[in-house]
Structure 1
């Protein structure tokens, strides 16, 4: 059996904030016990509303934010136990593509310098060898080496995201965490970037953790999907099973909101009542129960356990 490339166990990230006249300290449960397994070569997507903890989960996995608790096993090694040189070496294999391609690129450096920086940090090659790698990579993502002396503000949004992808790929990583990589782009450009990412995945044997709120995009690129709500994963399934047979009421509501390009399609929209509760004061029991149309008494007091609905289709709900 294939060993997981990445295994996340009980990942937790709590922030503290001080509120009120007496500056009383409150705990914000941004990520609250996430379990996730990703195998080599697949694309696993995390979806959910804004504020559900998707991006924080991705950053905790890479240790850009230090987790409060839990394990992050990359090729069997716990990333949380690494430090110094060991952590720096591990990060060669784990890279991030940011949501905002402009904010993530240094405006004072040319594209050539931006792409060369990771090679310098990790002590890879001579200046001439690094330049060759940079020229090769910029052409792989669909730009030309004549553009390497330009600065980020001279490119369009789609071109800047290609540069961001090139920077992530320059070290030949095994895992890429893509944090809403197309949400800031026009729809036509989104398709180009998604197709590019799929081509690169085949060419370089990449594994993706794809973070998005756009279920149409997720359906296009994913192998498996994990649905998050208020810091917790509530359903995990193969893409086809999730879209055709969603089980958790929250997943059903999300999928009912996806536009269908068919004027004769009359599926009923499931409207969620109220806003997502604050992670500083999550509801007892099942955190989704205040907005759930199927809420039962047990939902208000007892957190649901994971149940396997079918092969690999896991759901955390009392209905199942």
Structure 2
């Protein structure tokens, strides 16, 4: 994958909280802290994988960046402009540069429209192509690009397999020549053999079109296959962020270590310590004080229960939110 030092996206202390009622006898409202202070940067041509268990805020992070969900606070700078401060008209013009591929390829396609009409709608909305004939030609090219036949333009979504429908979703995303694509668990609903084909398609399109990806998944093997860097999320926070090779070679955060220990090893002779986490994931409506992982952490200290850890650069390019790597609280990291 091509790497360019030019910064495309900068996310700083992004928070997205959803208001909820506290109950019949309680006054006021509480909040589900789906995203609770995420910071990272993304370079042109790079793929950032975001991984974590269900409910950790991965998808909300992606949708907040695109403002499909309105962030509560923080900044999202796309090519130097803060997306969170844009008006509706400015945001509309930016949509062609930032696109999303959804998890469910059937629910995200209008069943009453042909594939050609779905792609044509994207072209017409963003005024791509001088006339109908030119747009129709573009539709055929898009279908060919994602491995389908131009003749498929007259068919409806229900006439395709899950993998083919996801190809249509990808074609719709690249139709408007975006710079950034957020792929929100795009292969989790597909068979394993089809997953590999779609992942390879994403990589081919990145090389061909110079795309930049945020690739959201809960499967470590998937993000390892496609990503340059990986961010690990837990309960609304990105607890670790590093190059793919560094993260798999030396996971620093206790939660990441537990995730890595659960990855199967194909060689039966290789023995691997399995780290079993105790307890359940706390509710994002009532997260623990201090570090949200401390109730399940085998290395938890008193400070972890009181103070939320800051993002530290424990090694060059390797960031971790953990007091174990802060000299103020601990002289050496636990492994």
Same fold (TM over 0.5): yes
- The residue that corresponds to 1:9 in the other structure is 12
Paired residue for 1:49? 53
Match of 1:151 in 2: 156
Cα deviation, 1:11-38, whole Å, max 9, x if unaligned, reads: 1101011132236421111101110100
Aligned residues: 320
CA distance in 2, matches of 1:15, 1:55: 14
Q: Report deviation, 1:312.
A: 0.4
Return the alpha-carbon distance in structure 1 between the equivalents of residues 320 and 22 of structure 2: 35
Which stretch has the larger CA shift, 173-182 or 124-133?
Answer: 124-133
Given candidates 116, 119, 143, the residue that maps to 1:138 is 143
Displaced runs of 4 or more, over 6 A: none
Query: Which has the larger displacement, 251-260 or 215-224?
Result: 251-260
Match of 2:187 in 1: 182
Q: Which moved more, 1:101-110 or 1:12-21?
A: 12-21
SS in 2 for 1:105: coil
Q: Does 1:21 align with 2:7?
A: no
**Superposed CA offset, 1:97-131 (max 9, x none):** 00000100000000001111111111222111111
Give the deviation of 1:154 after TM superposition: 0.5
Task: Supply the RMSD in Å over aligned alpha carbons.
Answer: 1.1
**How far apart are the structure 2 equivalents of 1:75 and 1:180?**
25
2:175 pairs, out of 138, 163, 170, with 170
Partners of 2:269 and 2:201 lie apart in 1 by 33
| Distance of 2:69 and 2:41 partners within structure 1 | 20
Q: Secondary structure at the match of 1:148?
A: helix
Matches of 1:264 and 1:138 in 2, distance apart?
46
**What secondary structure is seen at the aligned counterpart in 2 of 1:319?**
helix
Q: Partners in 2 of 1:72 and 1:306 — Cα distance?
A: 18
Residue from 98, 101, 108 that aligns with 1:104: 108
Shift of 1:2: 2.8
Q: TM-score, normalised on structure 2?
A: 0.94
Aligned ranges 1:64-79 → 2 under 5 Å: 64-79=68-83
Cα displacement (A) at 1:63:
0.4
- Deviation string, structure 1 residues 38-68 (Cα, Å, up to 9, x no partner): 0000000111111110000000000000111
Which residue does the alignment assign to 1:59?
Answer: 63
Structure 1 length as normaliser, TM-score?
0.98
Equivalent residue for 2:205? Answer: 200
